Amino acid sequence: MGTKPELSVITVNYNGYGDTVALIDSLRKYLADIPFEAIVVDNASRTDEAEAIRRHFPDEERLVLIRSERNLGFAGGNNLGIGAARGDYLLLLNNDAFVEDGSLRELIAVLENDSRIGCVSPKIRFADSPRDIQFAGYTPLSRITLRNSLIGFGEPDRGQYQASHVTPYCHGAAMMFRRETVERVGPMPEAYFLYYEELDWCVRIAQAGYLLWYEPKATVFHRESRSAGQNSPLRTYYLTRNRLLFARRNLKGAYRWLSILYQTAVAVPKACLAATLKGDRRNVSAVLRGWRDFWKIL
């Protein structure tokens, strides 16, 4: 590849060939005015999907393909892509997301015009109901329950979230930052494997003195369903373990132990009871394994 790109779009693929191809198609169609490269990290898919993607785009010089021989998780896969990126601006974009216009330029403009902003996310809407909002910023994370909310989630987009604003966290499905930010803050933490890693990283970015930003002039569509995988044992396991891990890594003093106590005495038993009443033994096991494995890694 010759000319240095302005923007490096990094996406992690895991058995998601069709979604990844659709994402690349959308970038090629709508980013015509931005010198970009698309870096696809194949996270040990069952078949060599990196090679399949290359065959689908045989003449696309802006496409960089990296295949990992083992699944490095969300953070590890993105970190591989970040290490290969050549752009001044880096965008982490889920492979099941896509764009339908050139508004990603607005995210670059935010970072160009305000050096205080370390990371920015666009408005995110659901692909299966494209007028409905998935993300218009986050509420703060409770220091006890370790939960927060997506602003605007499920609401029809009537323009009610068109004001740019500081957000406690950017959204892992679409977050852009300068190269210098990651050089200063360091890579995304890989201890989580799945869930909470981008929140932890946003804490690090904020601690380095940067603002985190929501920019509604840019829009990304996300194929994640509002109900997809809500009862997956894999999701249950990592959310249980990683809420506790996030507390240990990021909360101080009494709040650290109050949050861990809450998870142990309230959240874990409540989740086990709810799964038991549904006859869902796999999720009961996932909750208990997540809680147990947190204590193993202390």
Phi, psi of 33 (to 5 degrees): -95, 5
Per-residue pLDDT of the chain (298 residues; tens, 9 = 90+): 567 899 999 999 999 999 999 999 999 999 999 999 999 999 999 999 999 999 999 999 999 999 999 999 999 999 999 999 999 999 999 999 999 999 999 999 999 999 999 999 999 999 999 999 999 999 999 999 999 999 999 999 999 999 999 999 999 999 999 999 999 999 999 999 999 999 999 999 999 999 999 999 999 999 985 544 678 999 999 999 999 999 999 999 999 999 999 999 999 999 999 999 999 999 999 999 999 999 998 7
pLDDT at position 1: 52
pLDDT at position 224: 80
Q: What is the pTM of this model?
A: 0.95
pLDDT at position 4: 87
Residues 6+ apart with CB under 8 A from 151: 135, 136, 137, 138, 139, 161, 167
Distances (CA, A) of 76 to 11, 189, 195, 198: 12, 8, 12, 12
Could you tell me if 9 and 39 are in contact, meaning their C-beta atoms sit under 8 angstroms apart? Answer: yes
User: Rounded to an integer, what distance in angstroms lies between the CA atom of residue 90 and that of residue 120?
Assistant: 11
pLDDT at position 49: 96
